[in-house]
Structure 1
Amino acid sequence: MKQQTSPRGAVATGAGALALVLTLTACGGGRADDAAQDAAQAGETVSVETDYGTVDIPADPQRVVALEFGTEVVLEAGIEPVGVIEPVATLYTAEEFEKLSQYPVVQSASLELNLEAIAEARPDLIIGGVRVESHDEYAATREDLEQIAPTVFYDFDGAGAGLRDMTLELSRAVGDGERATEEQERFDSRVEEIRTTYADQLADTTFAVVFGSDGEFAVDNTNAWGGEILDTLGARQTEAQRAAGENFAAFYSYEEIDQLSDADVIFYETDAAGQPDPFTEALLDQELWQDLPAVEAGQSHPLRYSAARTYAQANTVLDQVEEVLADL
């Protein structure tokens, strides 16, 4: 998928690097920095329960480092982070990518942390999301980060509601919980509204969500990405999903494109700007793709934010699905 999803990340936590971090944290960058830190330390704190224990964090954090899965949180909150994971252009609009490119990179796209850069950023809060299978690895990482600033990590499982619920918790940690909760409530109410308004279309239509891979294509399962959101709506989906079992997607060769022949509507995943990646473009150019009933009927549609990381993004997915339903 078009997202930062390496299951495990390398962390630069050697003795020399950690010693440098502690020196930077203790000595700081001058009187102005020391004054800012003293002010932050004198401010109010709140206790939050994380998947790594209770953490006391600033009630009004001013200098946030956003590690993986934290970037969307600070963007939606309107926070100017002091450090971010290396932005990947496909995840953001051109405006968002330009904005993120202005901030110091403290974590590579391959998930390697730069502890020295994090310390130099002098954060008062560090946030990030962790795939549940990486919990033990990040427990050790968090111990190192806690020596720099309070660190809030939440685990998540899967590529659907669990991910969105995790970023909702991060939004609450940075003081943007009210807006983020409203997006969640809006998502839930819109799901019920769409289910009711388009009950006939949902019952009579078979859907598929696909993306290209290297020389093949994949069909989203009902437990992940756009397929999960369609499943939440109660939509009937292609039989091609069944081969995925409990995995997030089923993979097929180009010669098997006709596995999508039962789909009346096909969504193909794009980046945040609405453009398919080269692998998906190659899929769309296949002659067998052009011969699919849904494509011939003009029912092949791009889908932005299929891998919705927040409820705001998930609401954008609902917007796109509803637009298609309204024309059926």
Structure 2
Amino acid sequence: MQQKAPRSGLVLGAGALALSLTLTACGDAQEAADTPAQGDTVTVETDYGTVEIPADPQRIVALEFGTEVVLEAGIEPVGVIEPVATLYTAEEFEQLSTYPVVQSASLEINMEAIAEAQPDLIIGGVRVESHDEYVGIREDLEKIAPTVFFDFDGAGSGLRNMTLELSRVVGDGERAEAEQQRFEERVEEISTAYADQLADTTFALVFGVDGEFAVVNTNAWGGEILHTLGAKQSKAQQPAGENFAAFYSYEEIDELSDADVIFYETDAQENPDPFTEALLEQKLWQSLPAVEAGQVHPLRYSAARTYAQANIVLDQIEEVLKGL
């Protein structure tokens, strides 16, 4: 067994910095609250300092972690990070493919393309360990348009709280906050309604790697959501320590023998990646008690970036709990 660094696009932990919005518009306050006039601005406190942005931005560039925010808000951005099909539904991917790409999937930012898009706001999320790198990038972006970056340190609530802050910035805070409240209420409801199943059943969440498999820790992705529900999880995740997952060879599949229910990660279109498919086809996998009992289930949006996605994860977990 060996430990590995987090997969591209996600990190561990929890926490996100808060956002405060203060209207600085001129003119009648009530009128500005109802319909911001052209030229009205909002002051945003970010992890990179204070930024004044349009109160009603019309041309938004969504860099990494901003795409989900504009999609859920129903906003048509003027520039996006190159869409990766596994992160979106077929409909979302088709929609995103119609917008100009201003950041590659490998995270390289195209300043010229952003300038050509003529944005009035640029948004994005930044892994906390990349903060220093993005200080300089933000300074360059600010020459084009007001730029709001929030750091996050987590593949669980920290990431979801960061996108919640971005939703507030683009004027979609009320909907996003309702999703957060719904998540918190449903966690309590599910934890209470299925307390016996959660206590008496051992769960595991896995995904495939090249020639190996990983058991997701309780501090990351769907494992974190299971932990929040109070679910008992396989001892196979314990060697991860503070890392996001524990890694094993195929010969060690029997480390999952204590799991009564196993979830495996899929993309947004409910398809496992080739490495996970290979895991599910292993002979030793077929002999696991959970497999023999028919208690192996796909988990879509395990790596939930927003509270809306996290609520979809809760829906899937609850469906499994109903059958126990």
Tell whether the structures are fold-level matches, with TM greater than 0.5.
yes
Q: Specify which of 70, 73, 76 is matched with residue 74 of structure 1.
A: 70
1:207 aligns with 2:203: yes
Given that residues 121 and 145 in structure 2 are in contact (C-alpha distance below 8 angstroms), is that contact kept between their aligned partners in structure 1?
A: yes
**Paired letter, 1:159:** A
Q: Specify which of 179, 188, 195 is matched with residue 184 of structure 2.
A: 188
Given that residues 207 and 264 in structure 1 are in contact (C-alpha distance below 8 angstroms), is that contact kept between their aligned partners in structure 2?
A: yes
Give 1:5 shift: 1.6
**Paired letter, 1:251:** F
Structure with the larger RCO, 1 or 2 (CA within 8 Å, 6+ apart)? 2
Q: Which has the higher helix share?
A: 1
Residue equivalent to 2:9: 5
1:125 aligns with 2:129: no
Q: Residues 76 and 6 of structure 1: is their aligned pair in 2 closer, same or farther, counting only changes over 3 Å?
A: closer
The CA distance in 2 between the partners of 1:64 and 1:205, in whole Å, is 46
The CA distance in 1 between the partners of 2:257 and 2:38, in whole Å, is 64
RMSD across aligned C-alpha pairs, in angstroms?
1.5
Q: Specify which of 302, 306, 313 is matched with residue 309 of structure 2.
A: 313
Q: Specify which of 315, 318, 321 is matched with residue 322 of structure 1.
A: 318
Given that residues 3 and 91 in structure 1 are in contact (C-alpha distance below 8 angstroms), is that contact kept between their aligned partners in structure 2?
A: no
Secondary structure of the 1:116 match is helix
Residue equivalent to 1:141: 137
Give 1:241 shift: 0.6
Given that residues 191 and 232 in structure 1 are in contact (C-alpha distance below 8 angstroms), is that contact kept between their aligned partners in structure 2?
A: yes
1:216 aligns with 2:218: no
The CA distance in 2 between the partners of 1:210 and 1:164, in whole Å, is 21
Secondary structure of the 1:175 match is coil
Given that residues 82 and 104 in structure 1 are in contact (C-alpha distance below 8 angstroms), is that contact kept between their aligned partners in structure 2?
A: yes
Deviation digits for residues 24-74 of structure 1, max 9, x if unmatched?
Answer: xxxxxxxxxxxxxxxx99421100111001111111111000000000000
1:105 aligns with 2:101: yes
Unaligned runs of 5+ in 2: 12-35
Give 1:91 shift: 0.2
Unaligned runs of 5+ in 1: 8-39
Deviation digits for residues 55-108 of structure 1, max 9, x if unmatched?
Answer: 111111110000000000000000000000000000000000000000000000
TM-score when scaled to structure 2?
Answer: 0.89
Q: Residues 146 and 158 of structure 1: is their aligned pair in 2 closer, same or farther, counting only changes over 3 Å?
A: same
1:301 aligns with 2:305: no
Give 1:6 shift: 7.8
Give 1:4 shift: 5.0
**Paired letter, 1:280:** T
Given that residues 6 and 244 in structure 2 are in contact (C-alpha distance below 8 angstroms), is that contact kept between their aligned partners in structure 1?
A: no
**Paired letter, 1:290:** Q
Deviation digits for residues 211-245 of structure 1, max 9, x if unmatched?
Answer: 00010000000010110000000100000011101
Q: Specify which of 260, 279, 286 is matched with residue 283 of structure 1.
A: 279
TM-score when scaled to structure 1?
Answer: 0.88
1:237 aligns with 2:241: no
Secondary structure of the 2:106 match is coil
Q: Residues 212 and 6 of structure 1: is their aligned pair in 2 closer, same or farther, counting only changes over 3 Å?
A: same
**Paired letter, 1:120:** E
1:247 aligns with 2:251: no
The CA distance in 2 between the partners of 1:82 and 1:61, in whole Å, is 11
Given that residues 65 and 84 in structure 1 are in contact (C-alpha distance below 8 angstroms), is that contact kept between their aligned partners in structure 2?
A: yes
The CA distance in 1 between the partners of 2:97 and 2:7, in whole Å, is 17
**Paired letter, 1:49:** E
**Count of residue pairs brought into register by the alignment:** 296
**Paired letter, 1:98:** E
